[in-house]
Each structure stands twice: as C-alpha cells, then as structure tokens.
Amino acid sequence: MTDLAPPLGRRLRWTFTDGLTLVGRELGRLRHDPGELVAALIFPAVMVVLFGYVFGSAIQVPDGGDYREYLMPGLFAMVTFAAVMGVMTRMAADASRGVMDRFRSMPMARLAVPFGQTGADLLTGLLMLAIMVGAGLLVGWQPHRGLIPTAQAFLLMVVLRYALSWVGVYVGLAVKNDQVADAMVPLFLPFTMLSNAFVPTDGMPGWLRFLADWNPVSALTAAARELFGNPGAPSGNLAWPLAHPVTAVLLWSAALLVIFVPLSLRAYTRGGR
C-alpha cells in the first residue's frame, strides 16, 4: 500500500482513541439496555443454584470436598468462555446491519474495531466475573491459599478471556450474519460442559475424556482449583494440560492469540473485498 498514511505516532493514537470510543459505545449500550445487565446478574444465580444444589446434591467430589467449592472454579471458567459468544454476536450484528461497512468507509483507525470490541468485552467480562464471585461467596465458596495465588487465578481468567474474545472476533466476521451467529450461541453449553468444570473427567468414555481433558475450559478450571485451594485436584494418570494447568492456560492463550489476531485483522481489513 502506498496510501498517503499519517505518521505512525498519530495512527497509534487514533487506534487507541477510536478503540476507547468503541469501548464507550458498549458501555453506553449497557446503560440504555439494563435488561442485559439484569440477565448478566441472573445467569450466575441460576447456574449456582442449578449446579450447586440441583445436580450437586447427587455428585461426589473425588477427594470428598464440598461440591460448591468444587463447582465455582468451573463456573468462572464458563463465564470466561462466554467471551467467544458475546464478541461473536456483536461482530456479526455489526457486519450484517451495515455498521461494519460504515466503519470501514470512515477515516478511522483500521484496527480500532477489533481492538475496541475485545477491550470492551474485557470490561464486561470483569463485571460478569465480579458478579459470579459474589454469587460464589454467598454459597460458601472461598479461596484458601491467600492473596497472591487468588490474584493469579483471576489473572489467568482475564488472559484466557482476552484470547478467547479474538476467536469471537474472527468467527463473527466470518459468519457476517447475526442470525447465524445467534444460532451458534447454544453451542456454548456443550462446549463448556465437555470439561472438568462440573464433574471429574475420569468417568467419561475414553474419547470423550480426551476431548474434555484438552478443552481449555478444563485447564482453566484445574488451574483455578489449584490456585484457590478448592477441592477436586485431579490425581493419578493425568493428561498433560491437567497436570500443568497454569502453563496449559498460558499456552492456550498464546496459541489462540497467535492464530486469531492475524486472522481477525485480515478478515476485518479485507472485509467484503
């Protein structure tokens, strides 16, 4: 490209300020649509009650701990994974309603849209996580290993969430159609449940157990259990990601970013070309 581009410094500043404007857009949407906030509040409550009390009454934790203590790291991982669906539907809605074309035809920074969208998701994700933590504390979950490991656990969730949100950017740009994107949202449930988030993977048939053990949701859940000192630390002959969950989460995050950031940026700038 021999575009008469403005100097790099200004381009970076625009990318940043345009990204911030788009973060502000998402916050503005939340303010105008408190329904989304209410749904965000109800979801954790429903999950905690449904799994903590309904299913949990019949599930034995391997090392005999409290099921709700076992469950909460899984729910944190589930909330983290929701980034894919959230960002995907937002990108697809903008693409199918022409908003993306408007962005592309404006003299705004090219990278601001995907960076703004993932940045905004990080903020809403923190909010969701905070609500989920509140719900957990209410039903008797707590971290047991002190401040630093607890902070590390939440940091891992944030890192993986950010990486997952780029998967959402790419898939949303690829489907380009909000109805298709909405139809894909229910896949969220089997994907998160095919893991160690709710039950140990030992009892699953071999091939299913393999998928569950290598699911990034499982790595994050295992890492969080370890760092919070919650029950359910797996033992015996373990798949690699469950034996080294913290490293696995970091590797997963790095791999997702390395693959999906370039793919997404390419999909965004090339658009409907």
Partner 1 sequence: MADPVVFAEGLHKSFGDTHALRGLDLSVPRGTVCGVLGPNGAGKTTAVRILATLSDPDAGHARIAGYDVVREAGQVRARIGLAGQHAAVDEKLTGRGNLRMFGRLSHLSRREAHRRADELLERFGLMDAADRQVTGYSGGMRRRLDLITSLILRPEVLFLDEPTTGLDPRSRGEIWDSVRELVADGTTVLLTTQYLDEADQLADDIAVVDHGQVIATGTPDELKATIGDRLDVVLEDPAALPPAATVLTALAGTDPTMTGADRLSVALPGGGFRLADIVRELDRAGVAAADVGLRRPTLDEVFLRLTDRKEPV
Summarize as ranges the residues that interact with partner 1 (CB under 8 A). Answer: 1-6, 14, 17-18, 21-22, 24-25, 28-29, 32-33, 97-99, 101-108, 112, 271-273
In this complex, which beta carbon is closest to partner 1, that of residue 115 or of residue 228?
115
Nearest distance in Å: CB 12, partner 1: 14
3-state SS of the chain is: CCCCCCCHHHHHHHHHHHHHHHHHHHHHHHHHCHHHHHHHHHHHHHHHHHHHHHHHHHCCCCCCCCHHHHHHHHHHHHHHHHHHHHHHHHHHHHHHCCHHHHHHCCCCCCCHHHHHHHHHHHHHHHHHHHHHHHHHHHCCCCCCCCHHHHHHHHHHHHHHHHHHHHHHHHHHHHHCCHHHHHHHHHHHHHHHHCCCCCCCCCCCCHHHHHHHHHCHHHHHHHHHHHHHCCCCCCCCCCCHHHHCHHHHHHHHHHHHHHHHHHHHHHHHHHCCC
Nearest distance in Å: CB 174, partner 1: 17
In this complex, which beta carbon is closest to partner 1, that of residue 63 or of residue 101?
101
In this complex, which beta carbon is closest to partner 1, that of residue 22 or of residue 256?
22
Nearest distance in Å: CB 43, partner 1: 19
Nearest distance in Å: CB 51, partner 1: 31
In this complex, which beta carbon is closest to partner 1, that of residue 110 or of residue 209?
110
